Structure 1
Amino acid sequence: MMTPFFSHGFLLLVGLCYLLPGTQATYEGLYNDSGINRFHCRKVALTVSNVSISLYKQMAQKSRSGNILFSPIRVVASILMLSLGAKGKVSQHILEALKLNKTGLPEAEIHRCFQYLLHAINQATEVTSLKSGNSMFIHQDLKLVDKSLETIKDLYFSEVIPTNFRDSNRAKAQINNYMMKKTNKEIVDMVNELKNDTFLALMDYIVWNGKIISNFYCQFIKMEDFYLGRKQTMNLPTVNNVGVYHLFQVSNLSSTVLVHSNGQGSVIAYFIIPDNIKLHQLEQRLTYPHFRQMIQKFSLRMVKVHIPILSLSETYDVESVMDLLGITPVFNEEANSSEIMQNTPQKSFKVLSKAMLTLDDKGTNPTKGPCLGQKQWSDLPLVKLNRPFLIFIQDLTNNIPLLLGRVVDPRK
């Protein structure tokens, strides 16, 4: 009978078989071909967007209340990164669970597309206030094959850092200090617990700092009630603003949609506010084609908005996400013939994906007093994000789904 570790950790073990001496890197020529079909890569991003809605719904079922925030592109990239080098039908099983097999693209081209998509995100960081990346901490006794190391770095832009996991406290401090330095102190205490028999820790993150900017020099902060449900409210700092937004109704979702852009780059945020239905009903109805239909409704207009200052942070264990996606180990003779299965002792692993989102008016020049009562603004539509809503942040250049979540408490 197999031990509990192999029942949960087999995928990661076989995914690491390409790191050890004597194994061949399945994708050693993957990054040598610089030719990228952007249309194919947008198809990959579209597939990830579709999968992200299904994944969100499962998260929402498990957590009926509270915030949800994750990065679809980063989570899927982490899973694919760990699948590199998997033997037997494991890699095909992963592609099927992620629906990437439906793109009709060879596995190697799917990995190349993630290289292209992640590179596009990294290039956009200066303009969009977006930071993202990952780092892989490997037990220092594991010897890395140079070609495999290049594959990790080139395809998924990951750094590989030798770590002494036998001293778990020092290893935890090393990881947390490294992530804090890498994100300019935006991520603190990435890891709270680490076992001393760990052989791998993959830290994946995305940070988006959005700004609420008035196009008409009418903006100030006011304390307003945010309705939590069941007659509960909390008083929050809220940006009152006159700006240019996309605003429309989606009748089959019974919701108001406000689309916000910083005016820089192509990153936009959809705020989906249920009108006369409960948030859970909206979650059940939502599909990714709704977002594609929304794009067709885009029409800029002047709007008065009240948006609470957002500061959200959520961390997910990627293994639990794989369970939600139905990604389970495939045990058969072909898979069990992996060299790592024969030679590697049972060990623990840690794979985390952290998403952080802020939305405020810092860096802008708010007006000294209320201006929304002025006559020229009286006929403008008013939108208040004063109750739980959904948020979806996307890079439109390649349809990359950056963040998806539910906002119940804007300050967690």
Structure 2
Amino acid sequence: MKHIIYLFLLSIGLVVHCHHLPGHHNDQETDENPAEHQHQHLEEGQDNKTAKCHKIAPSNADFAFTLYRQIAADGAGRNVFFSPVSISTCMAMLSLGAKSETQSQIHKGLAFNLSEIEEKEIHEGFQHLIHMLNRPKNKAEINIGNALFIEESLKVLPKFLEDAKTLYKSEGFSSNFQNATLAEKQINDYVKNKTHGKIPQAVDGLDPSTVMVLLNYIFFKGFWEHPFNTRSIREEDFFVNANTTVKVNLMFQNGHYKYLHDDDLFCTVVEIPYKGDASAFFILPDEGKMQQVEDGLMKGHLSKWGKAFQYKQLDVYIPKFSLSKSYDVKVLLQRLGVTNVFDQNADLSGIVEEGDLRVSKAIHKAVVDVHESGTEAAAVTVIQITRMSAHRPPPTVFRCDKPFLFLICDKMTNSILFFGKVMNPTEK
């Protein structure tokens, strides 16, 4: 009988269950493209390690847009919020213990083509990405990490533990899953602490046959480079659809922002920077074009926008909103071809020699709070194994009073940290 691994994505987390235990982690002064700026550094040889995280960035972006479309298709008319980098990091860490077709499916599901990138480069890319996102000098606070909670009697292969620690900076903890209440508290306290209280309950109802929980957490706190004035906040209408209008607190700011209208994608894009190396991209579809935008978004757009942005004086209106979402990632990954790891064909022999393991559950939880000072967001993924002047033209208005998309990106690593859609800001 296959031992089971549960994945809980909080921004991302993995939980593993076992039926039979076998034995015994704005800048407004320049309009240069951040990506081009970083590539210049690479060419100059100033930091050749940066190439490692940049090598996996296109696949991570591809995975982010593909996963978004899966989530949006399941909840037409609903808010969306998740951390693609959390989910991909967690699944990549799991792939350390996967073999044969199981491993191949995970790589393909994460949009990695092994004819273009070696497995070693994938893991080194994530190793460097984790290091870069946790850089202490960034004024935008980003904390990302991984953890393994292991049943005391489970004999995990030393190589898997060492690779998880070295490549994914995973912490390891001994757990007694026979006492499910105590194990849940141990995991939930850990995630609550790492996400600064944003996600107080990562797991609920752990199966006593669980033998391992793998999780990834991510926490983001950024202050707008130019905060919105609290006195400018007004209660305004937000047009959810043709039949529904709700009242929201609409923030206002006048200033110079990177702005463009993408004629091919039928949307307007504005970059609103945080202090430090992060930015939020607000994507406002043209009237009636949300579906076209969702269907057409792909990894090349961020680079395209970076080259086409122009600084423009704008009147920016953004609603204050808070979202809290949870997703069954197992279903989403299965649609992307990641199937073996969830059934009797699972080969996770890189984790334990004796006994079969499979992932039975994958859950992702993510929360965000966007307000006049900035943004706070967090997510976790868990896997369970069971065996902006005078004499100038009038400003352009960018008014998000209808459904819009938004991305929170780290510019140093070209990474999409969080991806969301606001259909109704009053729905939590």
Cα distance in 2 between the residues matched to 1:154 and 1:346: 23
> What amino acid does structure 2 have at the position aligned with 1:409?
N
**Partner residue of 2:33?**
none
What's the TM-score, normalizing by structure 2?
A: 0.78
Matched, 1:269 2:273: no
Cα distance in 1 between the residues matched to 2:407 and 2:132: 19
Write 1 or 2 for the structure with the bigger share of helix: 1
**Partner residue of 1:324?**
335
For residue 316 of structure 2, give the secondary structure of its aligned residue in structure 1: strand
Cα distance in 2 between the residues matched to 1:189 and 1:331: 24
For residue 138 of structure 1, give the secondary structure of its aligned residue in structure 2: strand
Q: Is the 8 A contact 2:346 2:358 kept in 1?
A: no
Give the superposed CA RMSD: 3.9
For residue 291 of structure 2, give the secondary structure of its aligned residue in structure 1: helix
Q: Is the 8 A contact 1:133 1:157 kept in 2?
A: yes
What's the TM-score, normalizing by structure 1?
A: 0.80
1:122 is aligned, of 117, 134, 145, to 134
**Partner residue of 2:398?**
383
Q: Deviations over 1:44-90 (max 9, x none)?
A: 11121022212211221122121112222221111111111322333
Q: How does 1:17-96 map to 2 (within 5 A)?
A: 37-96=49-108
Q: How does 1:276-355 map to 2 (within 5 A)?
A: 276-329=287-340, 338=349, 343-344=354-355, 351-355=362-366
Q: Deviation at 1:221?
A: 1.6
2:420 is aligned, of 394, 405, 412, to 405
Q: Is the 8 A contact 1:208 1:357 kept in 2?
A: no
Matched, 1:209 2:221: yes
> What amino acid does structure 2 have at the position aligned with 1:76?
S
Matched, 1:395 2:407: no
Structure number with larger C-alpha Rg: 1
Matched, 1:221 2:233: yes
Write 1 or 2 for the structure with the bigger share of strand: 2
Quick check: 209-218 or 41-50, which moved more?
A: 209-218
- 5+ long unaligned stretches in structure 2: 8-13, 25-46, 376-387
Length, aligned pairs only: 385
Q: Deviations over 1:13-35 (max 9, x none)?
A: 99x9xxx999xxxxxxxxxxxx9
For residue 45 of structure 1, give the secondary structure of its aligned residue in structure 2: helix
Q: Deviations over 1:269-320 (max 9, x none)?
A: 1111111223223211222222221111122222111111132232334433
> What amino acid does structure 1 have at the position aligned with 2:149?
F
Q: Is the 8 A contact 1:310 1:359 kept in 2?
A: yes
Cα distance in 1 between the residues matched to 2:238 and 2:419: 21
**Partner residue of 2:262?**
250
> What amino acid does structure 2 have at the position aligned with 1:191?
V
**Partner residue of 2:208?**
196
Q: Structure 1 residues 103 and 59 mapped into 2: Cα distance closer, same or farther (>3 Å)?
A: farther
Q: Structure 1 residues 36 and 356 mapped into 2: Cα distance closer, same or farther (>3 Å)?
A: farther
**Partner residue of 2:271?**
259
Q: Is the 8 A contact 1:124 1:265 kept in 2?
A: no
Q: Structure 1 residues 122 and 332 mapped into 2: Cα distance closer, same or farther (>3 Å)?
A: closer
Higher-RCO chain (CA-CA 8 Å, sequence separation at least 6): 2
Q: Deviation at 1:7?
A: 13
Cα distance in 2 between the residues matched to 1:44 and 1:6: 26
For residue 117 of structure 1, give the secondary structure of its aligned residue in structure 2: helix
**Partner residue of 1:368?**
none
Q: Structure 1 residues 215 and 353 mapped into 2: Cα distance closer, same or farther (>3 Å)?
A: closer
For residue 101 of structure 1, give the secondary structure of its aligned residue in structure 2: coil
**Partner residue of 1:27?**
none
- 5+ long unaligned stretches in structure 1: 23-34, 365-371
Q: Deviations over 1:364-411 (max 9, x none)?
A: 9xxxxxxx9x98798111111111111122222221121112112335
Quick check: 132-141 or 55-64, which moved more?
A: 132-141
